Chain A
């Protein structure tokens, strides 16, 4: 295969990674940005989204698209509900204390993973893609569904951006993020905002997971990779910055795709880690983050 088509394939693969990663990382970034909670269980919400997608898609028969759409709607809702319960039962009782919430979310990670193992089992199970369309390029074929994932991610990111910057809910969130006490003094129900943000963060991870199951299958151990990559993205992009998260996700996704195609996947991971180190040394708040006050 010539250099051009090779690069094209690497970029496409990188964009699929970036698409899913930006949604997942945005959830993590949002939770930290607004609540100052480092959610170590974020990868498990991702996994839960995938596992539930398998469950909902098997409930219906007929065209695979029906099951997939059902999963796309229901799976994030259920994950959001689980996150809401976790927030009410655990994080709130710890008063969102940074150290305590790290330990608590590690606990949540193990509990969710074990529950998935108990009720879903250790197998990797596929969810049928809503459509099987092979884009035949002159040099190689490419999955039409993967291209659709990139498009879906762009639409979802746009929607999130709209909610955060153009709606009252977004305004309230940003106010809470900017200064919790002042927001409370202005009558913003900070407590309720936190609950919604935590659920929303988990739902973003779940949506990303539903999009990826037809490509990768659902497995109870699948939460670890997205968690690590999300942290890398969030550190590079700047915590709580939508723009930074998207840019860093595209950067990491594309470099992962291209470097691992032309060199080795290990080198891609090394470079990502090196980037994190450089960002932490020269710009600790991330590329687009603001200095904490």
Chain B
């Protein structure tokens, strides 16, 4: 504005006062309206940091998307209440990807070119991550995913893709295999969805069981479009000691119910990924047979007796009750085992932006390097699920896993793995790729 005033002073020598005032007003108005200009002239420090949130609002990931959105909103509010990022407010720009890889890639492009966001964040389903990652790499926009698959850590994506808020399937299953083989049984049959996420389970759990002296005697892959599952159940060999199940999408409740109808009270011991029941009330009719069975949980759905205060604060902020359902609607069960990843990832982005001194899109390369330089996240309000280690070479974090048992229609944690249980030798190094 100083420049403008000087300019007017020069002009006012030859113009009368009224014209000069008019000119001043018009210049000011022009500055306010003109796109792009105002940003550099006066708002460097107050312009919001814009984070593009790629959400599964519709399609088969909708239940997850709903809770990912609630968690993200809650975390963003807390960050803003505490002064934002680098003193700038955080703004979440949400777009629906329809849980569809093609639309996912389009959404990333829209974020970069139309919404002009600083980074893209939040997506869950592995096929959407895999479909969107190349676009993020081409546009050189950091893409922080809250997925679970091994796709990030495998090195198959690119340097702009990070998974700092949730452990990948390889780490999850290899840390739990010892517990499964020593507590439930050594002969396992696996039922999993027949695409990338399920294949990660198939490959890594099978290998992890072998390492424990156990054996996966049968794989039962189920096509992603299937809505009825009984026909697959006869493939489970009768000598199976443990049935390992992981299903996702709208069919999960059907799957678990049909499992119950098929076996009644008998059958092998069940070890399920909570994905088979995520967002489903365990007290639903027909699920009684799950009593006594075990589930993996990233973060416990039910409030555990020994939960620290920051976990309670997190649950209050996200709006879930002691049963992990929405405080407003007890039937609206959360995706507690995954959604904490959104919260933690936002805080990782905040920390990385602060350490990089992030100012705008020109600093994206610095932001990537700052994220890669991170090594540890301490448990606390920013990381309520627990402490984590981060490997900057493979862009992947490692944390604790919980094994919970169904008792009286709720899940109680019976075992928590250590971070080291899930660590593995990295197979890639993103830092060697050029930015």
A residues with a Cβ closer than 8 A to B are: 1, 5-6, 9-10, 13, 16-17, 64, 117, 121-124, 126, 128, 132, 134, 136, 140-143, 215-217, 219-222, 225, 257, 260-261, 265-266
Contacts and interface: CB of A to CB of B under 8 A. Distances in A.
B133 to A, nearest CB: 24
Interface stretch (B36-44, B229-237, B346-354): B229-237
Contacts of B254: 126, 215-217
Given A13-B231, A132-B286, A265-B226, A141 B262 contact: yes
Given A123-B62, A140-B234, A216-B227, 7 more contacts: A9-B230, A10-B234, A124-B253, A140-B262, A141-B264, A142-B262, A143-B261
B250 interface: yes
B261 to A, nearest CB: 5
Contact of A222 (B66, B227, B231, B238): B227
A126 B284 contact: yes
A143 B258 contact: yes
A143 B230 CA distance: 10
A117 B58 contact: yes
Contacts of A265: 223, 226
Interface in B26-77: 57-60, 62-63, 65-66
Nearest to A126: B253
Given A143-B258, A261-B234, A219 B228 contact: no
Number of chain B interface residues as a range: 20 to 34
Nearest to B221: A264
Contacts of A140: 233-234, 262-263
A115 to B, nearest CB: 13
B80 to A, nearest CB: 28
B285 interface: yes
Contacts of A17: 228
Contacts of B225: 225
A5 B231 CA distance: 12
B251 interface: yes
Contacts of B234: 1, 5-6, 9-10, 140, 261
B63 A123 contact: yes
Interface of B: 57-60, 62-63, 65-66, 223, 225-228, 230-234, 238, 249-251, 253-254, 258, 261-264, 284-286
Contacts of A142: 230, 261-262
Nearest to B61: A122
26 contacts: A9-B233, A10-B231, A13-B228, A13-B231, A121-B62, A122-B57, A126-B284, A128-B285, A132-B285, A134-B264, A136-B264, A140-B233, A141-B262, A141-B264, A142-B230, A142-B262, A143-B261, A215-B228, A215-B254, A216-B228, A217-B227, A225-B227, A257-B231, A261-B232, A265-B223, A265-B226
A222 B253 CA distance: 15
B227 A221 contact: no
A1 B238 contact: yes
A25 B261 CA distance: 28
A12 B285 CA distance: 23
Contact of B231 (A124, A136, A219, A261): A261
A2 B405 CA distance: 32
Contacts of A132: 285-286
A126 B59 CA distance: 17
B105 to A, nearest CB: 20
Contacts of A219: 250
Contacts of B286: 132
A222 B227 CA distance: 9
Contacts of A128: 285
Given A126-B284, A219-B250, A260 B231 contact: yes
A134 to B, nearest CB: 6
Given A134-B261, A225-B227, A217 B253 contact: yes
A122 B59 contact: yes
A117 B57 CA distance: 10
B231 A141 contact: no
Q: Most chain-A CB neighbours within 10 Å: which of B226, B228, B285?
A: B228
B108 to A, nearest CB: 21
Please provide the 4 A-B residue pairs with the shortest distance between their CB atoms, ordered closest to farther. Answer: A124-B250, A122-B62, A122-B58, A13-B231
A215 B258 CA distance: 9
A207 to B, nearest CB: 18
A121 B284 CA distance: 21
A121 B66 CA distance: 11
A142 B258 CA distance: 8
Contacts of A121: 62
Contacts of A215: 228, 254
Nearest to B280: A126
Nearest to B98: A122
A260 B66 CA distance: 34
A260 B262 CA distance: 18
Contacts of B223: 265-266
Contacts of B285: 64, 128, 132
A112 B232 CA distance: 33
Nearest to B59: A122
Nearest to B56: A122
Given A6-B234, A265-B223, A217 B261 contact: no
Q: Most chain-A CB neighbours within 10 Å: which of B65, B232, B250?
A: B250
Nearest to A220: B58
Contacts of B60: 221
A141 B263 contact: yes
A174 B381 CA distance: 72
A128 B322 CA distance: 25
A217 B228 contact: no
A9 B258 CA distance: 13
A13 B60 CA distance: 24
Contacts of B253: 124, 126, 217
A216 B59 CA distance: 16
Nearest to A142: B261
A124 B227 CA distance: 11
Nearest to B266: A141
Contacts of A143: 230, 258, 261
Contacts of B262: 140-142
Contacts of A221: 59-60
A10 B234 CA distance: 9
A259 B58 CA distance: 33
Contacts of A134: 261, 264
A136 B233 CA distance: 15
Contacts of B230: 9, 13, 142-143
Q: Most chain-A CB neighbours within 10 Å: which of B57, B233, B249?
A: B233
